[in-house]
Copies of this chain bind each other. A is one copy, B any other.
Amino acid sequence: MIDKVTETDSKLTLHIVLQANLMNTESNSLSDISAVANLELAGSAGSPNNPTPAFSPLYQQIKTLILQSLQAGEWKPSAAIPSEMDLAVRYKVSQGTVRKAIDELAAENLLVRRQGKGTFVATHAEQQVQYRFLRLFPDSGDLQGEGPAQRQIIDCKRVRASSDIAKALAVRQGESVLQVRRVLSFASTPTILEDLWLPGAPFKGLTAERLRAYHGPMYALFETEFGVRMVRAEEKIRAVLPDADQCVLLKTSARTPLLSVERTAYTYNDAPMELRRGLYVTDTHYYRNALN
């Protein structure tokens, strides 16, 4: 009765367990199911060529299932997911197990819990801080904006991926990608110059006009218009000097050192969906980082 699952899915051990739970509609004493399932899992079940069967607790499996629903778009950004009780019934586990799965997803900023209201799919729009991934702050005060940033789209064109761009975006070299250049200004002072590259397929139809027309974070546009959710990112930071073009756009001198911030942003499953090279003017702003 579980043939279909074990045949089509690579993570068979996990799904065997869950299917076992799902099959047992009412017959057994439910409290014993998970114990049996874990034995199966740690023991002989699963692929015999794997020396470490990679024991995975139930809540991790639930987490994976929720993640799949998120990725498949079953629940849209900013919408509420089913309540813990509903999910517990659906997955045939206790509420506490669902809770632990959701706890981890909330810690990873994929879900947002709101007491009394429900659990919601995180989004880059409607966020308290305008730019979730931007770490640049003004020297005076910790307000993210001295007023909102002024955005200026310089360019948006299709180009063929160079080898490093292709590698960063996990596409083939020479494949068509989108290249965008923009400037962010604070208090009318150009402060950030960004070049960014996006894989062509998911962002088909993106133009400078649409970028200019949209008000709000660019990642919010990616979510709502293209269904691409940036989930996490990594940045590599260096100190550099600008070239001639960059000087003009940032209205700065060629001898002013700038922060080079190269960001790779990922969607679900660690799939890279954006490469962004930023130049930050750091005479009136600084890059803030918290170490724990």
Whether a CB of chain B sits under 8 angstroms from the CB of A87 is: no
Beta-carbon contact of A289 and B259 below 8 Å? no
How many residues of chain A are within 8 Å of chain B by beta carbon?
Answer: 32
* Least Cβ–Cβ distance between A216 and chain B, in angstroms: 19
Q: Is A108 an interface residue (CB 8 A)?
A: yes
A82 → B minimal CB distance (Å): 24
Interface window among A34-42, A143-151, A177-185, A227-235 = A227-235
Interface flag for A226 (CB, 8 Å): no
| Residue of B whose beta carbon sits closest to that of A287 | B237
A282: B residues at CB distance < 8 A: 237-239
Which residue in chain B gives the minimum CB-CB distance to A291? Answer: B233
CA distance A133 to B289 in the complex (A): 11
By DSSP majority rule, is chain A's interface helix, strand, loop, or mixed?
Answer: strand
Query: Taking the full assembly, how many copies of this chain does it contain?
Result: 2
Contact A286/B240 with A108-B292, A258-B257 known, Cβ cut-off 8 Å = no
In the complex the two chains form, is B289's CB within 8 Å of A289's CB? yes
Is there contact, CB below 8 Å, between A234 and B288? Answer: yes
Q: A241 near B: Cβ within 8 Å? A: yes
Tell me how far the C-beta of A56 lies from the nearest C-beta in chain B, rounded to whole angstroms: 15
8 Å CB contact of A234 from B233, B236, B241, B289: B289
Q: A257-B257, A258-B257 are in contact. Are A289 and B239 (CB under 8 A)?
A: no
Asked whether any CB of chain B lies closer than 8 Å to the CB of A290, the reply is: yes
Q: How far is the CB of A205 from chain B (nearest CB, A)?
A: 27
Q: Known: A108-B292, A135-B289. Contact between A257 and B241, CB under 8 A?
A: yes
**What CA separation (Å) do A232 and B135 show in the bound complex?**
18
A224 within 8 A of B: no
| Chain B contacts for A133, CB-based, 8 A | 291
Q: Which of A135, A236, A257, A280 has the most CB of B within 10 A?
A: A257
How distant is the Cα of A255 from the Cα of B292 in the complex, in angstroms?
A: 33
Which residue of B238, B283, B289 contacts A286 across the interface (Cβ within 8 Å)?
B238
CB of A167 to closest CB in B, whole Å: 14
Q: Kindly identify, within residues 101 to 124 of chain A, every residue whose CB is under 8 Å from any CB belonging to chain B.
A: 107-109
Among B239, B260, B286, B287, which residue has its beta carbon within 8 angstroms of that of A258? Answer: B239
Which of A132, A283, A286 has most B Cβ within 10 Å?
Answer: A286
Against B, the Cβ 8 Å flags (1 = close, 0 = not) of A247-272 are: 00000000101111001000000000
Add 9 more A-B contacts to A233-B290, A239-B239, A257-B258 (CB < 8 A): A132-B291, A234-B291, A235-B289, A235-B290, A236-B286, A239-B260, A239-B282, A241-B255, A255-B255
